[in-house]
Every structure is written in C-alpha cells, then in structure tokens.
Amino acid sequence: MAAAEARGREFPVGMKVLVVDDDPTCLLVLKRMLLDCRYDVTTCPQATRALTMLRENRRGFDVIISDVHMPDMDGFRLLELVGLEMDLPVIMMSADSRTDIVMKGIKHGACDYLIKPVRMEELKNIWQHVVRKKINENKDHEHSGSLDDTDRNRPTNNDNEYASSANDGGDGSWKSQKKKREKEDDETDLENGDPSSTSKKPRVVWSVELHQQFVNAVNHLGIDKAVPKKILELMNVPGLTRENVASHLQKFRLYLKRIAQHHAGIPHPFVAPASSAKVAPLGGLEFQALAASGQIPPQALAALQDELLGRPTSSLALPGRDQSSLRLAAIKGNKPHGEREITFGQPIYKCQNNTYGAFSQSSPAVGGLPSFAAWPNNKLGMTDSPSTLGNVGNSQNSNMLLHELQQQPDTLLSGTLHNIDVKPSGVVMPSQSLNAFPASEGISPNQNPLIIPSQSPSFLASIPPSMKHEPLLGSPSPSTSLLGGLDMVNQASTSQPLISSHGANLPGLKNRSSNAMPSPGISNFQSGNIPYVVNQNAIGVSSRPPGVLKTESTDSLSRSYGYIGGNTSVDSGLLSSQSKNPQYGLLRSQNDVSGSWSPSQDFDSFGNSLGQGHPGSTSSNFQSSTLGKLPDQGRGRNHGFVGKGTCIPSRFAVDEVESPTNNLSHSIGNSGDIVNPDIFGFSGQM
C-alpha cells in the first residue's frame, strides 16, 4: 500500500480503491459508500480500461473491487491479470451468489467475494485485505530462498502451476495465484529498492555487473552444481544474501530452461530439438535480471551462451525441463489466459517500449541463446521470465533466428553469440540496426534482425557504443528485411504489429492500450488466438511482409517489422516488458522500450498459429511484420505493449501500434483498441 503508507497513520483512510463495474447504478452506489468510508475512490465502468489504468499506475491503487459479469472482460480474467501483474488484492462482487461462481472467484485468487447489494459494513472492512496481503507478502519474502530445496521446489512448483493451469483453467488458477505469490517473492528480491529505502527487505538490484558475477560463479561451478551458497561464496559480494542468490538462481534456471526448450522446440541447426517443440518462454525474470541494469558484458553473455549452447537442451541442468515443456504446452494452448502461464509471456509484461518486441519471435529460433545481454531496461516482460529469449539476447535470438531461417551454418550462430551485446532497453536487438541483417550476410553477431531498436530515445541511449554494427536504434528507416524481406521494425516497440496490422483483429495486439497487451496474448493465442506472435511487440514475426500488422502504424512501423523468415514465433513475452520489471531492475527505458518479449513460446507454433488463429488477422501478417515491428510512436515504443512502457503481451492487442503519445494511450475504456475481446482470452471463459 504505497499510497497508504505515504499517507501514514490514518490508514485506512485514503486507501485507494478502484471499482470496476459495468453497471452504472452499482458503481455510483459503491462509490458513495466508499467515499463515506473515507477511501479514495476511482470508478471505472470498463474492465479493459481499468486494466490499463492499473498498468499505468501500479502503485496507484491499494485494492480493486470488480464485478464478475462485465461485457468487455470477464471479471475473473481481470482478477487473474491484476493478481499476476500487479499483485493487488482484488475483491469480487456480484449479484450472483451461486456457490460455484463464488468458488470460482476464490480459486482465481479473489481476496473476497461480496454479494450485491454490498453493504457499508462490508466495505468498511475491505482494508483488511490490503493489510493481510502485505503481511503475507512480507512473510513469504522473508521465507523465500531460505533453503535450497525451497528454490528447487519453486521451479517445480511453478512448472506445476503452469502445467496445471494449462490443463485446468479453473483449478489452476489458484495455483497460479500461488505462483504469483512466489513470483512476487522472487521479484522482491530483485526489486530495486533504494539503498536508503526504509523497506523492510533490502532488495537487490541485479545489475549487469552483479549478474555477470553471478553468471561467472554459476559457470564456474557448473550449472548442475551451482547452489546458492556456493554461488554466494564465489561472488563474494558484501551484503548479498543467500536468499537473494537463491531467488535469482531460480529465475536463472527458469530462463535457461526456457532457452533450452526453445532449442528443443525449434528445429534448430544448432540444437537438436529434444523437448517439445513448444518453447516455453523463458522467464523474463532471467532476462530481466540480466538486463536489469543494462547490458551484460559480452563476455558474460558469451560465457553464458557457450554454456547453454554447449549443452543440448537436455543437458542443461535445468530442473524440470519437462515441466517447462509442460508449461509451454500449457501456455501455448490451453490456457486462455496466457498471462499466467507466461510461457512466453509471462504474465503480462509491461514493456515500456515493446519496440523490441520484434525480436522475441526469433528468439525461439535462436536456440535459446541466453542472450542475457539483451535486456534492455525495459521491463521487458521479464518480470517473470518472459520470453527471455526474446529479450535477452535479442541479438542472439534474432541472430539465431536468422540463422535458422537462413540456414546459416552454426558458426554463424556461435559467432553471434559471442558478439552479442547486451543492450539495455527492451530492444532485443543487439546493436545492430535492422539493416544489418542482409540476408546475404547472414547474421552478424550484433545483428538482430528481429529486434528492431526502437527509436525511442531511451533505447538509443542505451545502446552501447560497442555495438558493432550501426545501431539500429533510432534508425527510422525501415531496415532491410533480413530474411526475405523481413523488416525490422525500427521503431518503437513493435509488438503490436503483428496483430494490429490486421485491423486489430489480432487479439491482444493492440498496442495501444499497451498495457492491455500483456504477453498473455501470446499465451492466449494458444487457444487459437493470435499466437504469441501477436504479442504486441510482434516479435519474431514470420517473414511476412511487414507492415501487415499494424493498421495504423506509421510508416516506419510498417516497414520495419522484421520477420523471421520462417517461423514467426512471436514472443509475446518479449514484448511486454514491464510487468514486473521494476523488480528486476530491468532497465527501463523511458520510452518504454519494450521489455522482453517472451520468446514466442513455441516458435513453431506461433508461426503456425499466426497463420491461423488470429481473429481476424491474418497470421501471416503478423509474422512478417511483427518481428520487428515496433509500434512506432516515434519513440520506439512498442505498441504492442503498452504505451507507457508497459508492455502487455499482445493479448491485449492494441490496435494502434503507435499512439500519438508516447504513452500508449490506454484507451481501453473506449474499447476502441480492443478489437476482439476474445483476444484477451477473456471472453468470459476461463
């Protein structure tokens, strides 16, 4: 309760409540009652708009009260999303008092369920939920990472949750809540806390240097033997606790797993596909962590990559690989809510500029090179290991992808890996501008065909000077398509492209609402909706001609979408960068460089799905353009995700990739952006 804390002693007076209900009568009555309780009330008749508001201002509210039956979004869906992305207490409310519905609410993580007419007494007590949640979070956080086995359990846990959610939306939901909690715990570790902050738990900012030390330690020990304690010792960083390391390690493992899966899933020349084709999006966490502060020195990256590359997916000592596959699978398709599963996308990431969304797609192809480097500050969806691939090494991914597409020899790939620079800012792209990918040349190390550096200034700024190739960033001109005409989106976050181009049929593509597009879009797509590709950031779009995605995209956008020649797996995860980015300290570019897109989970599948399932949108469009399409706001923002730098996986497909303002206008309320409510996967079906 930041707001509450700020206000101090008078809590719960002034507690910030957001009420979402399409019934104006109820909204008015509730507002009056809440005001009478001396709360700070904001009402919103549309769930989608509410979600945007929340994404824009995560800390602006302490508790949400939401109706169950709403036309533009199912209340349970909103509940899940809020829980996942913002982890705020949500109270459900309805005239429907049937036990099964109430049960559903509880399972989806509602703190409480009020039956209309809501009475004053009930409202007076809602502050308890806020406090309780805070306490629980703190407690969990303190306990988190206390034991190695806890860490071990976590990934498994998470995987299970994913899997379970995938298989059973209803029952899984509570697990996802749990997972959320765990994630929250993990995240808190990474959250950036002011050194002088008075927060109880000191938060570790996983800066690039720190992460590199971590990676070095892990490499030294060997991924199999890397236990937090030893890592801690090796790192020898004063003030770092075993818990911090444990939590970070967990995320890292997830990331690796994801990469591995990508490898497995993609018929990659470099990697023998072993596991399911579906690649689970790498937890953006890893990426985030990596990208947290910016760039990871190439050597660290290379080292990491080597390690990863060196091990076939199976060999990656990642626990629960199967699980991750499971997750992927789960994400891919079954879950209507993509967010949770995050296979790619982890929960909606808020990417500031999803500009880079483009690359996510390729990431799968990349073969999971953990391009840690690639996390641009944005909170590329990394919050939760979003398409890590996408983010991290966009360059890598893209390179990989390109390779794959172009069937380049492995050498190219490995070459690239080492050269990948970690670039801050959501753009996955390595410093290279899109142009760098001339097909003929293959992929140059720093080229990230997929990633199109958004022009956002922030992104540009973050591009390290070391970039070998001319920085793509900021190059407004559409890059020459790498693969058969893939245009990388130079502009700002792309992500949307895939979806938006179709006239917004693509679910979740709407960038506009930027927030709205959570990476889930990707996951949602599994169900046939737009695949991750759609993710706002249109990452890794297939080689379709760019520009398809965005209907409104500016010229630059349309041009720049890069695709990956064949597989368009869009990583929606990549796109969303923000959602939990803050915690990881991801670099957040001002202009919302889109954070990481979760590498399209299933690279293959997306490619395929792109073609299909997109509501109204031709998947093909996505693919091609999305890759690089960064919604062009001129700022290099990923439209796909959320305007203000929050990338929401394309689930929410904002239709306009670029919004006139940097902040992707979350015009959710107008539902103009939401072309197809189903995109969100909500359509009321969980």
- Selected range binding other proteins among 30-38, 138-146, 204-212, 423-431, rule: CB under 8 A: 30-38
Please state the closest distance from residue 32 (CB atom) to other proteins, in A: 5
Please state the closest distance from residue 97 (CB atom) to other proteins, in A: 10
Taking the C-alpha atoms of residue 644 and residue 590, their distance in angstroms, rounded to an integer, is 9
Taking the C-alpha atoms of residue 473 and residue 463, their distance in angstroms, rounded to an integer, is 8
Q: Which of 2, 6, 95, 272 binds other proteins (CB under 8 A)?
A: 95
For position 20 contacting other proteins by CB under 8 A, the verdict is no
Contact partners, residue 416, CB within 8 Å, separation at least 6:
369, 395, 396, 399, 400, 403, 443, 444, 445, 446, 447
Per-residue H/E/C for 457-474? HHHHHHCCCCCCCCECCC
Please state the closest distance from residue 58 (CB atom) to other proteins, in A: 28
- Cα–Cα distances in Å, from 637 out to 489, 520, 614, 644? 11, 19, 23, 8
Q: Which of 43, 52, 66, 94 binds other proteins (CB under 8 A)?
A: 94
3-state secondary structure of 29: helix
- Cα–Cα distances in Å, from 418 out to 90, 446, 595? 45, 9, 22
Contact partners, residue 568, CB within 8 Å, separation at least 6:
361, 498, 533, 540, 541, 542, 543, 544, 600, 606, 607, 610, 619, 622, 623, 624, 626, 627
- Selected range binding other proteins among 63-71, 220-228, 231-239, 251-259, rule: CB under 8 A: 63-71
- In the bound state with other proteins, the residue whose beta carbon lies nearer, of 34 and 504, is 34
For position 592 contacting other proteins by CB under 8 A, the verdict is no
- Selected range binding other proteins among 1-9, 24-32, 448-456, 634-642, rule: CB under 8 A: 24-32
- In the bound state with other proteins, the residue whose beta carbon lies nearer, of 24 and 310, is 24
- In the bound state with other proteins, the residue whose beta carbon lies nearer, of 115 and 147, is 115
Please state the closest distance from residue 683 (CB atom) to other proteins, in A: 11
For position 32 contacting other proteins by CB under 8 A, the verdict is yes
Please state the closest distance from residue 101 (CB atom) to other proteins, in A: 9
Please state the closest distance from residue 34 (CB atom) to other proteins, in A: 10
Site size with other proteins, rule: CB under 8 A: 25
3-state secondary structure of 495: strand
For position 194 contacting other proteins by CB under 8 A, the verdict is no
Burial class (CB in 10 A: 0-12, 13-18, 19+), 411: exposed
CA distance from start to end of the chain: 29
For position 103 contacting other proteins by CB under 8 A, the verdict is no
- Cα–Cα distances in Å, from 262 out to 276, 325, 373, 385, 451? 9, 9, 17, 13, 17
- In the bound state with other proteins, the residue whose beta carbon lies nearer, of 95 and 272, is 95
- In the bound state with other proteins, the residue whose beta carbon lies nearer, of 384 and 678, is 678
For position 470 contacting other proteins by CB under 8 A, the verdict is no
Query: ω before 71 within 30° of 0 (cis)?
Result: no
Q: Which of 7, 59, 69, 230 binds other proteins (CB under 8 A)?
A: 69
For position 660 contacting other proteins by CB under 8 A, the verdict is no
Please state the closest distance from residue 116 (CB atom) to other proteins, in A: 4
- In the bound state with other proteins, the residue whose beta carbon lies nearer, of 47 and 205, is 47
Please state the closest distance from residue 684 (CB atom) to other proteins, in A: 8
| Residue 484 neighbours by CB distance under 10 Å | 17
Mark residues 118-157: x for contact with other proteins by CB under 8 A, - for none: xxx-------------------------------------
Please state the closest distance from residue 113 (CB atom) to other proteins, in A: 13
Count how many Cα atoms sit within 13 Å of the Cα of residue 607 in the half-sphere of its side chain. Answer: 25
Per-residue H/E/C for 136-186? HHHHHHHHCCCCHHHHHHHHHHHHHHHHHHHHCHHHHHHHHHHHHHHHHHH
- In the bound state with other proteins, the residue whose beta carbon lies nearer, of 27 and 452, is 27
| Residue 180 neighbours by CB distance under 10 Å | 25
- Selected range binding other proteins among 91-99, 169-177, 483-491, 597-605, rule: CB under 8 A: 91-99
- In the bound state with other proteins, the residue whose beta carbon lies nearer, of 68 and 290, is 68
- In the bound state with other proteins, the residue whose beta carbon lies nearer, of 485 and 684, is 684
Distance of CA 99 to the CA centre of its chain: 34
Please state the closest distance from residue 45 (CB atom) to other proteins, in A: 11
The β-bridge partners of 432 are 471
- Selected range binding other proteins among 113-121, 141-149, 289-297, 510-518, rule: CB under 8 A: 113-121
Q: Which of 2, 6, 10, 24 binds other proteins (CB under 8 A)?
A: 24
Position of tokens 């306490």?
135
For position 3 contacting other proteins by CB under 8 A, the verdict is no
- Selected range binding other proteins among 5-13, 62-70, 472-480, 668-676, rule: CB under 8 A: 62-70
Question: Do 165 and 280 contact (CB within 8 A), yes or no?
Answer: no
Token reading at 362? 């390729």
Query: Based on C-alpha coordinates, what's the Rg of the chain?
Result: 21
- In the bound state with other proteins, the residue whose beta carbon lies nearer, of 119 and 139, is 119
- In the bound state with other proteins, the residue whose beta carbon lies nearer, of 110 and 266, is 110
Question: Do 590 and 456 contact (CB within 8 A), yes or no?
Answer: yes
- In the bound state with other proteins, the residue whose beta carbon lies nearer, of 116 and 418, is 116
- Selected range binding other proteins among 29-37, 352-360, 443-451, 667-675, rule: CB under 8 A: 29-37
Query: ω before 117 within 30° of 0 (cis)?
Result: yes
Please state the closest distance from residue 26 (CB atom) to other proteins, in A: 5
Q: Which of 2, 6, 35, 135 binds other proteins (CB under 8 A)?
A: 35
Question: Do 174 and 80 contact (CB within 8 A), yes or no?
Answer: no
For position 28 contacting other proteins by CB under 8 A, the verdict is yes
Contact set with other proteins (CB under 8 A)? 22-26, 28-30, 32-33, 35-36, 67-69, 71, 94-96, 116-120, 684
